[in-house]
Amino acid sequence: MGRARKLIIPAIAAMIGLAILLNLGFWQVRRLAEKETLIEQVETGLKSAPVAAPGVAVWEGLSDEDDYRRVSVTGRFLEQNVFYYISLTDPVGTYGGPGELVYSPFETAEGWTVLINRGFLPDGVPDEIKREALTPPSGDQMLVGLLRLSETPVWTTPAPDLNAKLWFARDTDAMAEAMNVGGNLAPYSIDLEAGHTPEGGLPQAGETLVRFKNDHLGYALTWFGLAATLIGVFLAYAAAVLWPRKQEHSANVD
């Protein structure tokens, strides 16, 4: 009993540690299932027929499941632009490398406004071509693209360059404020499909990055592996405490 008492505190600590590690492992398993469901929904949405872009009445109910939804919208462009820095390593179109995505406000036929990602503009474009690319199409337009929910900058996100109207996060509220766009602003933007690329080739539409980091299985296996290691270490320690003479005798025989 004296030796067993020595195991009480280590056993409690081991059980607490084991519970934490198992909970972390099972949480990663749940996140894996959620991520796989989300990826399946996105892949289905990319191939589906476009639906009308969500209007004011349903904005509060938008969730991650609506991200990457294929939508259509009608209205007209307003004469302003802001930019989102990006570096295309695997472009769909001709141009890649560092550059900006061009965002322009779009007044819909229903009277609300949404920011449209018109496409990619690479660095180093001659001024004349850049001016032409930044001029949005005039008149009424019917657009098709992917709904992208607004991003909230984190502490590691560089601050926007307001003079250049350059952002490093897709913060649609801040972008619209920089352009003095009032009224009802959608809490999302729309990435135009490649078919909306103008004849001049810029801005190059259809460059939405559809990527999902899915390391949850690896993390789950790591946590479960640590849990198994903890069990093994505790059993070895318990054996050393409960049967020290047997271990010493075995060592002498060797």
Alpha carbons 216 and 12: distance in angstroms, whole number: 29
User: Burial, 41: exposed, middle or buried (Cβ in 10 Å; 0-12, 13-18, 19+)?
Assistant: middle
* % residues pLDDT > 70 (the chain): 92
pLDDT at residue 248 tops 70: no
Mean pLDDT, range 89-98, rounded to an integer = 89
pLDDT confidence of residue 252: 53
Q: Which of 48, 31, 104, 89 is nearest to 209 (CA)?
A: 89
Q: What is the mean pLDDT of the chain?
A: 87
* Pairing status of strand 51-52 against strand 82-88: unpaired
Kindly list the domain boundaries of the chain, sorted by start residue: 2-36+214-253, 69-196
Q: Is 240 exposed, middle or buried (0-12, 13-18, 19+ CB in 10 A)?
A: exposed
Q: What is the pLDDT of residues 204-241, one digit of tens each?
A: 999 887 766 667 788 888 988 998 998 998 888 888 88
Q: What is the rounded average pLDDT of the residues 83-108? A: 92
* pLDDT (tens digit per residue) in 152-202: 888 889 999 999 999 999 999 999 999 998 779 999 999 999 999 998 899
**Percentage with pLDDT > 90 across the chain:** 52
Query: 54-79, pLDDT tens digit by residue?
Result: 999 999 999 888 888 899 999 999 98
Q: Which residue has the higher pLDDT, 113 or 211?
A: 113
Residue that is written with structure tokens 């600590």 in the block = 13
